[in-house]
Amino acid sequence: MATARRNTNSYRQQRYAGGDQRAFYVYGNTVRQAEILPKRETREHTEQPRRTSRQVRKNRNRALSISPAYAGFLVVAAFCAVFVCMMYLQLQSDIVSRSENITALQQELTDLTEANDTAYNAATDSVNLEEVRSKAMDELGMVYAAQGTVIEYDSPTSDYVRQYSDIPKDGVLAQSKSVTE
């Protein structure tokens, strides 16, 4: 009968715990004390150091020592590394100084552009075009170009022309004497 009861209790434990074998319910009002397990003795595994052969010790000593050629190579490599680092820092310094110089020049350009725009606006505001037109027409006798008053001509040498005398009515500046006859 005791075995039957034990079987039903385990069935209930599985059913209520969702099939988890580790979870169980303790009936009663006292909690069981945990059993104290005895400490395990750890044995230190002491082995006698193995004796190494003379050839192995000789190879280890040779590997630990540095030959003069290898030491020279390491010194040259260290100097090269330091030189490359110094050159890198020098280039970084040049880049920073040039960047600061570019920033200063951009600021100067901005200031000059602003001053130039201000001066241009002041100059255009100070000139009254109506006054210039009336002075040119009234005092200097200038007139607007009308239809037929503009004479086109061919320049024989270049695009630049200096006028030393009046332009002829036919618009030709130079002719050979044989052509006119």
List, for residues 15-26, the tens digit of each pLDDT value.
554 555 565 666
As a 3-state breakdown, the chain gives helix, strand, coil percent values, each rounded to 5, of 55, 0, 45
Instruction: Check: pTM over 0.75? Answer yes or no.
Output: no
pLDDT score at 54: 86
Residue 99's SS3 state is helix
Residue 10 in tokens:
């385990």
Residue 165's SS3 state is coil
- Of residues 136 and 99, more confidently modeled: 99
pLDDT score at 23: 59
Q: How far is CA 141 from CA 72, 129, 144, 147, in A?
A: 96, 17, 10, 18
58 pLDDT higher than 80:
yes
- Per-residue pLDDT band at 125 (split at 50, 70, 90): confident
User: Is residue 167 within 8 Å of residue 151, measured between CB atoms?
Assistant: yes
